[in-house]
Amino acid sequence: MKRDANVLSRLCLEGGLSPRVNQLRLDPLSGRWVTVATDRAQRQALFVARQLTLDSLEGIPCPFCPGMKASAPPALEVHGASGDWLVRVLPNRYPAFEGDRPFVVENRGPVFTEAPASGIHEVLILSPDHDRTMASLPDEQVSLVMSAIRDRVEEHENTSGLRYSQVIINHGRQAGASVAHPHGQLLGIPFVPRELAEEQAGFDRFAGGCLVCAAVAAEETLDYRIIQTTDHAVTFCPYWSGTPYEVLVVPRDHGAHLHRASPSGIVGVGRAVRSVLRAINESLGDVAYNVVFHSAPYRATDVYHWHVHILPCLTTRAGFELGTGVMINVVGPEKAANDLRDALRRVEPDPDDRHVTATS
Ligand SMILES: [Zn+2]
Ligand SMILES: [Zn+2]
Ligand SMILES: [Zn+2]
């Protein structure tokens, strides 16, 4: 579709189109500036395919496949009709957080402050099938995975001393996965981590109600960065994307906590995550990615809206990013959303989803 210059500049002003010059955009969640520098988009050729994990390269037996003895009783198992497990949660063999010592901060010198890394660190096995990924899980399996996440976070909340649960899925070595078998991790920790505290501050700063509800409403009106909308979730590339093909999946129902959302809402978000991962595979190939679930700390009462970040690992953080915390994004989120929307249509022409029609 052709647009005249006035319309173009108005859309640029309203956050509708990719900038024709490099642009700073404010991430209202984190409070950080990101740089969208799409002139560097030809660098897309430098995007890298997922590296295989060492276990698959070296033929080491998979510790998460059915039949492997777990080192401890599973924390949760969901079984199918044939009696075999379908979803499994195991204690992490190399936990970052462990035990129940109270969170007491001690000063061991003028600049040496420490506290016990107490908590829970679990592995969530997404499927008994070694060769699946989150992107290739069928609907029913996604439902089981999401119910398991909810059940475990509820359990974490009821564990004394813990304040926050982080759920993640790392896919590929660049994303930090050490085992190829599809799995996520569930960490219950005794403090509110900085990323969450920054997002909470972002919600506090926002004067127009819920920041995430407002972002969804604005994106749906503009229709430029939406990838998929369903009854339960809205998936888009945020205006302030700091990395190429960054995606936000937001539940339609406003609520602070994943584990207190309706079962259909939780499952709907899980399916939206699965679908956009499928679109990422279709559009970019088998790339590494991180899926990060953000839910409010258990006892938080301020406005917050739980959501899921999907961060494909296509570029590395170099000196400028590490030194300043300012990301340089070489793919405008407008282009990213367009690519992923097209890819999703190709791989998942699902009549139940109201795919947004392309607008340019
Ligand atoms: Zn396996
Ligand atoms: Zn909201
Ligand atoms: Zn977040």
Q: Where would I find the H helices in the chain?
A: 5-13, 54-58, 139-157, 194-205, 211-222, 263-284, 319-324, 333-347
Q: Which ligand sits closest to the CA of 255?
A: 2
Helix axes 194-205, 211-222, angle to 10 degrees: 70
- pLDDT tens for the chain, residues 1 to 360: 444 445 444 555 456 566 667 899 999 999 999 999 887 555 555 677 777 777 777 778 899 999 877 667 788 989 998 989 999 999 998 999 999 999 999 999 999 999 999 999 999 999 999 999 999 999 999 999 999 999 999 999 999 999 999 999 999 988 888 889 999 999 999 999 999 999 999 999 999 899 999 999 999 999 999 999 999 999 999 999 999 999 999 999 999 999 999 999 999 999 999 999 999 999 999 999 999 999 999 999 999 999 999 999 998 888 999 999 999 999 999 999 999 999 999 998 865 545 444 333
Last residue within a domain, chosen from 163, 189, 215: 189
Q: What's at 160, amino acid-wise?
A: S
C-alpha of residue 331 to centroid of ligand 2, in Å: 27
Nearest to 304 by CA among 261, 242, 240: 261
Contact 219, 234 (CB under 8 A): yes
- Give yes or no for a contact between 247 and 234, defined as CB atoms under 8 angstroms apart: no
Looking at the domain assignment, is residue 359 inside a domain?
no
Q: Is residue 240 situated within a structural domain?
A: yes
Do 219 and 141 lie in a common domain?
no
316 with 228, same domain?
Answer: yes
Q: Are residues 44 and 84 in the same domain?
A: no
Is residue 199 in a domain? no
- Residue 358 pLDDT: 39
Residue 2, pLDDT score? 42
Q: How far is the CA of 124 from the centre of ligand 1 (A)?
A: 13
Q: How far is the CA of 308 from the centre of ligand 3 (A)?
A: 7
Q: Which ligand gives the minimal distance to the CA of 213?
A: 2
Number of domains in the chain: 2
The CATH number of residue 314's host domain is 3.30.428.10
Q: Is 320 among the domain residues?
A: yes
**Residue 343 shares a structural domain with residue 271:** yes
Of 189, 213, 236, the residue at which a domain comes to its end is: 189
- Tell me if 3 is assigned to some domain: no
Residue 196 lies in a domain: no
- Asked if residue 64 belongs to a domain, the reply is yes
Residue 340 shares a structural domain with residue 238: yes
Same-domain pairing of 119 and 39: no
> Where a domain ends, among 160, 189, 218?
189
Q: Are residues 163 and 148 in the same domain?
A: yes
Ligand nearest to C-alpha 217: 2
β-bridge partners, 292:
168, 309
Alpha helices in 104-238 (DSSP H): 139-157, 194-205, 211-222
Query: Tell me, what's the pLDDT at 287?
Result: 93
C-alpha span between 228 and 240 (Å, rounded): 18
CA-to-CA distance for 87 and 261, rounded, in angstroms?
21
**Max alpha carbon distance in the chain (Å)?**
66
Q: Residue 181 C-alpha to ligand 1 middle, in angstroms?
A: 4
Ligand 2 being an ion, which residues bring their Cβ within 5 A of it? 210, 212-213, 254, 305
Same domain, 172 and 232: no
152 with 230, same domain? no
Ligand nearest to the CA of 311: 3
Q: Does residue 282 share a domain with residue 158?
A: no
29/17 Cα distance (integer angstroms): 21
Which domain does 321 fall in, by range? 23-50+204-347
182 and 294 in a single domain? The answer is no
Tell me, yes or no, whether 127 lies in a domain: yes
Closest listed ligand to the CA of 305 = 2
Q: Clarify whether residues 238 and 305 are in a common domain.
A: yes
For the chain, what is the radius of gyration of the CA atoms? 21
